Amino acid sequence: MSAKHLMFACCLVLVSVTGAAAAEISGEYLEARSCDVWTGPCFANGEIGLSGKEAVMAWKVDKGKWNGVKLDNLSAVLVVKAEDTLGFGGSFDINPDPIKSVILVDKNANDQQRKALIAFVKDSAKKLTKHVQCVEQTEIDLKNDHVSGVGVLKAGKLAKIETRELKDGDCICTNEDVFYPPLTDVENSHPAYTTKLSFAGKGLNNTWNLLGQRSAFLATFEK
């Protein structure tokens, strides 16, 4: 393990230990978009307004409650389609509204948990959930390995994310950095390379199957 990865792992453990007592709910987060988020200004300028209008975001609750409902080991996914690049917090003036979205809820959730998961997603991504087109329940599996940079999301046959660690060969213009921050407030975020990002569901009048972009974030969350 490199010194960089060892330091990140130690910081992640420290944050988890010190923050657990105050958090009502906490867990893993994975996000991927249809444009590079770790990139240089020249590449970002070439994609602005043309790509980055789609995103898949996923939360897995390790432990906690929302609206008084226990959600341990349950997951939810938000799939987003905007009219412009989803560039909140970036360097360009972008207006992606209107933004349409679909919420996918863990099929293992009961009715009360389903409502709580939907409320949690809406609270976590207020800008992205003003126009929810539909809600579907499906099997959801989310696993993050922060040290290796590998994140895997499988939401039935509807959505998928697969990532790997960013490598030296992914640095093209030598000026890469986190150009866009994650689309929601998270902890311990770090960019990763998306080997696969797909959505095959209904509600957005669009599906996609994208390969090979510097477009993902692995993170944790606590609220």
Task: Determine contact, residues 53/180, Cβ cutoff 8 Å.
Answer: no
Mean pLDDT of 159-185: 85
Give residue for tokens 């389903």. 114
pLDDT, tens digit (0-9, with 9 covering 90-100), for 86-133? 875 555 556 677 899 999 999 999 999 999 999 999 999 999 999 999
- What is the 3-class SS of 173-218, one letter each residue? CCCCEECCCCCCCCEEEEEEEEEEEEECCCCCCCCEEECCEEEEEE
Burial (CB count within 10 angstroms: exposed 0-12, middle 13-18, buried 19+), residue 184: buried
Which of 161, 128, 159 lies closest to 143, judged by CA? 161
Q: Does 214 reside within a domain?
A: yes
Rounded percentage of the chain residues whose pLDDT exceeds 70: 77
Q: Does residue 17 lie in a domain region?
A: no
Q: Are 28 and 71 a contacting pair, CB within 8 Å?
A: no
Predicted local confidence at residue 193, as pLDDT: 97
Structure tokens, 8 = 């990140």
Lowest-pLDDT range of 25-34, 80-89, 136-145, 156-165: 80-89
Q: Please, what is the average pLDDT of the chain?
A: 85
Name the residue range of residue 35's domain.
Answer: 3-12+22-222
* 109/39: higher pLDDT: 109
Each as own residue / partner, the long-range contacts of residues 111-115 (CB below 8 Å, 24 or more positions apart, any chain) are: 112/69, 113/69, 113/70, 113/71, 113/74, 115/67, 115/69
Amino acid at site 188: N
pLDDT, average across residues 187-197:
97
Domain count, the chain: 1
Q: Looking at this protein, which amino acid is placed at residue 23? A: A
- What pLDDT shows up at residue 169? 80
Residue 177 has which token pair?
A: 């950095």
Strand, coil or helix: what is 82?
A: coil
d(CA 35, CA 48): 9
Q: Are strands 75-81 and 54-66 parallel, antiparallel or unpaired?
A: antiparallel
Contact 221, 59 (CB under 8 A): yes
pLDDT of residue 45: 54
The torsion of the CA quartet 104, 106, 107, 109, rounded to 10 degrees, works out to -130
